[in-house]
Structures are given as structure tokens and as C-alpha cells.
Chains A and B, each alone.
Chain A
Amino acid sequence: MLEIIAPENLAYAKSKVLTDAPMHYCPGCSHGTVHKILAEVIEDLDIQDKTVGITPVGCAVLLYSYLDIDWVEAAHGRAPAVATGIKRTNPGLHVLAYQGDGDLAAIGTGEIIHACNRGENISVIFINNGIYGMTGGQMAPTTLIGMKTATTPQGRQVDINGYPFKVSEIIALLPGASYVTRQAVHTPAAVRQAKKALKKAIEKAYAGKGTSFVEVVATCSSGWKLSPTEANRWMAENMLPFYPLGDLKDS
């Protein structure tokens, strides 16, 4: 029985860029899946030694515990400015900013817009789960109309809360952003696709083409108060029609 555990029979191995620290995410949370494919992409591109990541304030704040690269923890929303400071003074580094939708699309709107507009040669990974996961499920700018959250207990209403924010569409308008794509990780096919997008994003930014922006439409089973499977289904049925997947820009 044990003989079959041999390198030539290995179908899957944990990326060496992932640490052994157990992830703190809720079951089914998209953050963990994105971390895993990000680790694999870093390994595939062989850039572990020349990559600096920036973690957000949000559920992914402890991302620095899970990927074995250098990390800088930014203030809430400021990762694109921190990334700018790193990349401008260290052009030889791969610089990755990882942000949630509260972090990037609310408090940090100014920083992301201007970093993309300047065409900073960085990659931004934007986890759009339509909610503030970390602080207990409050409304995010990306929360869908009618969606119940801790601060929209009757559901998001346009007259009170305005409209859900389509960030990638706006980023795609900026000349400094060269690659803008919207991905998801709710099915194996989507995961494969998202991994490809991440790889391309990192390569393009490093080649000096401008900012790469990868949105990942994500689940937050705890915030949405759904089981992991229900959350995946709910996301496909409700989030994806409003946030359609695919490349928005590839120049």
C-alpha cells in the first residue's frame, strides 16, 4: 500500500511557498483558495526570493503567516500606496497588493485609483466578497441591492446606500492599468482560470506594462450566513450576473 506513495505517483503536492501554519479562515472561505493558487503561481514563476507582498486590513491580514515570502502589513486601504513606495524604490522586486472590497473599494478608493492611473508596475489582487468579513459582516461598497448585512438588516437599499460599486469596470478605464480581469474560485475550472490570470498579471506588471488588477468574486459564508456549498451557489446565481467573469482589459 505504502509503495504507491512515491514521487512519480504524486498527483498533487502542497506548494513549497505555502507555510505549514493552519489557516484561520472559515470553512469554504475564498481567501484560502486564492492564497493557495497565489503560492503555486509564485512557485511556478520561481519568484519566491524576489517578491514582496502587502497584506490588507481585513480577514486576509494574516496572509503573511501563510505564504513564505517577505510581507508588509499596510494600514486599512493603503496597500497600493505602500506597494508604490516599495516598487518605486526597488524596481527589481515583484510587488503584490492583496486587498478586500472594504479595504480597496471603500476606505482605499483614492489609493487604488491613483496607483492604477499612474500605472505602477504592481499586481493587485482584489477579493470581492460583497461584505466586510473581518468586522462581522457589514455592508461593503460591493454589496448587492437587497443583500442583508449587519448594517443593512432590511437589505441594501439604493435610496439609503446607493449602488453596488463595479470597481474593475472603473479601473479598466484607467490608461495605467494594463491587465484587468474578473475571476472566481468557486469551481475547479474557475480556480484553474484564476490561476492563469494571476500568473499573467504578475508577469505583465514585472515586465513594466503597468498595473495588473485581478478581481476575484468571492464567498464569505460566515458573513452571508450560508454553508460553504450554499455560498458558492448563491454567489454563482447572484454575484456573477452583476459581476460577470472574464478579462475587462488586456493591453
Chain B
Amino acid sequence: MKGNEVIAEAAVRCGCDAYFGYPITPQSEVMETLMALRPWETTGMVVLQAESEVASINMVYGAASTGKRAMTSSSSPGISLMAETLSYLAGAELPCLVVNVSRGGPGLGTIQPSQADYFMATKGGGHGDFHLIVLAPSSVQEMHDFVSLAFDLAFKYRNPAMILADGVIGQMMEKVELRDQRPRRAREEALKDVGSWATTGKAGRARNIVTSLDLDPARHEKFNQKLQAKYAEIREKEVRYEELLCGDAEYLIAAYGISARIGQKAVELLRAEGVKVGLFRPITLFPFPAKQLAARAGQLKGILCVELSAGQMIEDVLLAVGNTLPVAHFGRNGGIIHSPNEVVEAMRELRVKNGLYYTWTGFA
């Protein structure tokens, strides 16, 4: 199945209550698949095509405020439009899932794959001090698995979660094992979890108010501190990453999503040449596996960050390892995807070439 279709299948099967979306390449198959599946006839899941991404995310906000498992999907320009309400969702502590099958920018950019939305996903993507929980799948199976994982994390922490995929993973066909159908949560069961905050009508309790507004400076500062404490807990408990042949590695390729697949191939090629190289793949981009990467720094001679961007994740890699070793970036833009051989070449050189990659050896 295609990655995008799997998102739709996984949504229905994990008991998602509602999907709201607006077409954009390269992820329109998500809503198209949902419309073909007609889950409103089976699980009762609502699927609605909205008039814009602004409307989609605000419909998600509405459904989420009643404690429902609500989601949307889009691609880069559409996610830009959602930025204000992503901030509202974080400020009102509402759980939901946003899928970004990202494409190249800036602007209308290209419909080809890209990983240039890393900053937007992990450093805000909206105003104010907040974070999304960000999961980066690198296979169609992970597209499937991360839908329910994202909902579980979102509800555990009452925070919006994002699956940051790219056009390759969205369009790629792979074998996938689909989970069994989980029923949508019944009202009574849901209320046990969300009853203290969800706006479901105040029967039998004091009223609930979903808002991100607080004009009292002291109270609002406290609230911000509470949010930061939540993010600290997420950093502590929810880091996910994968290491491949890192045990004896002298060099690491750090890459997520589709770049990690290419990085994996490059590791094979380099190992065949006798280079001691491993792959470090962040699965959660927020929280970034900083401690886990730093733990490897002592054994390393260099890290090559491979991204479909001009160098975004590399900033988190640098924050993790500081100026203790050379860290280089190798990126492609415009929808061009690096070949494993190019990555091999970049790893051999770990230095500036044709403006495509640069070497950072820390602050002099």
C-alpha cells in the first residue's frame, strides 16, 4: 500500500473519531482513501472536506475540545496556514493528530518531496512557547504504526502531535501489516479520560472551558511553566530513535525519514569499503534524542547529517554534541533526493563541496 493510503487505513482502524482536511499534493490520497472507505458507515468516524486548511484545523480544534480523537493531514503550505491554531491547540492543551507529508518550499515551491519543514514542526510552527510531539516515519509500516502512537501520546500529554513525513514516504508502496480494528471510544469510556476538561455539555459536573487566554500575568506565567514542565517530561520519557551499526562506529550518518533509508544504504556501501560508520535515526524529532546522540560523541570522528533541506536537523545535532567533533551537513533541495552514492561521497569528504554541503567544526 501507499504511505498516504495507510494513514487513512490506520486512522479508521485505531478508532479515530474524525478527519477534516483540504486537498494538497502529495497527500490528497489520505482523504480520498477515507472517502472511499466510508468509515461513517462502520465505525462512525466523521470525514469532512473543509474549505481550507484554516477551517480543517479549527474543525479539529472543535472536535478535540470535546475529547474526540480528531486529525487532519496536509502538506507544507497547508501546515503553514494551520500555524495559528496549532498554537491555540497547544495553549488550550488539546490532543490531536496533524500529518504533514511535506514538500519543497519556500512558497509554492515544488510538489516533490522535501524535509525542509523540520524547523516548522519542531521549533514552533506557530506563535508562543510550545512544542508539538513530532514523529518521523521512515517506512510505510511506520506511517501506519505512528497514527495510533501519535494519538496515544497526544492524549497522554494533552498536546497536539504531528507525523512529519515526506512526499516519498507518502507515495511509496510497501508491504504493511494493518492492525486490528479498535472500536472508537464509547462516550462513557472517553469521559473517564477527558471528562475533567472536555466540553461535552456540563451535565453532572461544573462547566468546562477550553481556552488559551489568560490575562492575569502571574497565572499565565505559571501556565507557561506548567507547559514547559510537560515538555521536559516528554523529553525525558518519550524519546524514540534507532541505531544501526553504531557500536564500533567512528562516523555516524544522522538522518530521519526517507533520508534515513538512503543513509542505511550508504552505511552498507561504506562498511563494504571498511569504513566504520553507523546510522543514527531520530524517530521522535521532538523530543530529539539529544542525550542518546551525545552518548556516542566520545567514540566518533565525525557526524554527517543527511537531510532533504539546507540543514535544519543539524542544529539539533550540534546542540546535542556541541563543538566536540566535526559535524557536516549534506542536503539536497528542490525535490531532488540524494543517491546513496552521493552520501558515500559526502561521508568520504566531510567537507564543503559545490555549496551542497558544508562542514561545521564548532564555534572557533
Residues of A within 8 A of B17 (CB): 89
Q: Is A48 an interface residue (CB 8 A)?
A: yes
CB distance from B206 to the nearest CB of A (A): 9
Contact pick for A89, options B63, B92, B213, CB 8 Å: B63
B85→A78 contact, CB < 8 A? yes
* Of A62-70, A132-140, A219-227, the one touching chain B: A62-70
Give complex CA distance A187, B17 in Å.
46
Q: Is B163 an interface residue (CB 8 A)?
A: no
Q: Is B199 an interface residue (CB 8 A)?
A: yes
Chain A residues touching B, majority SS: helix
Residues of B within 8 A of A49 (CB): 201-204
B65→A88 contact, CB < 8 A? no
Q: Name the residue of chain B whose CB is nearest to the CB of A91.
A: B46
Give complex CA distance A75, B20 in Å.
17
Residues of B within 8 A of A165 (CB): none
Give complex CA distance A49, B206 in Å.
10
* Of B48-56, B247-255, B294-302, the one touching chain A: B48-56
Q: Mark B39-62, 1 if CB is under 8 A from A, else 0.
A: 000000010101110111011111
Give complex CA distance A52, B84 in Å.
22
Give complex CA distance A73, B209 in Å.
8
Residues of B within 8 A of A61 (CB): 213
Residues of A within 8 A of B279 (CB): none
Question: 8 Å CB contacts to B: which residues of A159-173?
Answer: none
B18→A85 contact, CB < 8 A? yes
A72→B199 contact, CB < 8 A? yes
Q: Is B88 an interface residue (CB 8 A)?
A: yes
Residues of B within 8 A of A72 (CB): 61-62, 65, 199, 209-211
CB distance from A76 to the nearest CB of B (A): 8
Q: Is B208 an interface residue (CB 8 A)?
A: yes
Give complex CA distance A85, B88 in Å.
15
Total contacting residues, chain B, CB less than 8 A:
39
Give complex CA distance A51, B208 in Å.
11
Q: Is A201 an interface residue (CB 8 A)?
A: no
Contact pick for A69, options B50, B55, B202, B211, CB 8 Å: B202
Give complex CA distance A30, B330 in Å.
61
Question: 8 Å CB contacts to B: which residues of A35-90?
Answer: 48-52, 54-55, 61-62, 64, 68-75, 78, 81-90
B59→A82 contact, CB < 8 A? yes
Known: A52-B201, A90-B66. A85 touches B61 (CB 8 A): yes
Give complex CA distance A114, B52 in Å.
10
A114→B55 contact, CB < 8 A? yes
CB distance from B128 to the nearest CB of A (A): 13
Residues of A within 8 A of B85 (CB): 75, 78
CB distance from B71 to the nearest CB of A (A): 11
Residues of A within 8 A of B59 (CB): 81-82, 84-85, 88
A85→B58 contact, CB < 8 A? yes
Known: A73-B211, A110-B51, A114-B51. A81 touches B202 (CB 8 A): no
Give complex CA distance A181, B17 in Å.
34
Residues of A within 8 A of B88 (CB): 75
Q: Is A150 an interface residue (CB 8 A)?
A: no
A86→B62 contact, CB < 8 A? yes
A110→B54 contact, CB < 8 A? yes
Give complex CA distance A61, B92 in Å.
15
Residues of A within 8 A of B116 (CB): none
Q: Is B207 an interface residue (CB 8 A)?
A: yes
Of the A-B pairs whose beta carbons lie under 8 Å apart in the complex, a sample of 25, sorted by A's number, is A52-B200, A68-B207, A70-B199, A71-B208, A71-B210, A73-B213, A74-B61, A75-B88, A81-B50, A81-B55, A81-B56, A81-B62, A82-B65, A85-B60, A85-B61, A86-B63, A86-B65, A86-B199, A88-B18, A88-B46, A89-B70, A93-B66, A111-B54, A111-B58, A114-B51
Residues of A at the B interface (CB closer than 8 Å) are 48-52, 54-55, 61-62, 64, 68-75, 78, 81-90, 93, 110-111, 114
Given contacts A71-B210, A89-B62, A90-B68, 6 further A-B contacts (CB under 8 A): A52-B66, A61-B213, A69-B201, A74-B62, A88-B18, A90-B66
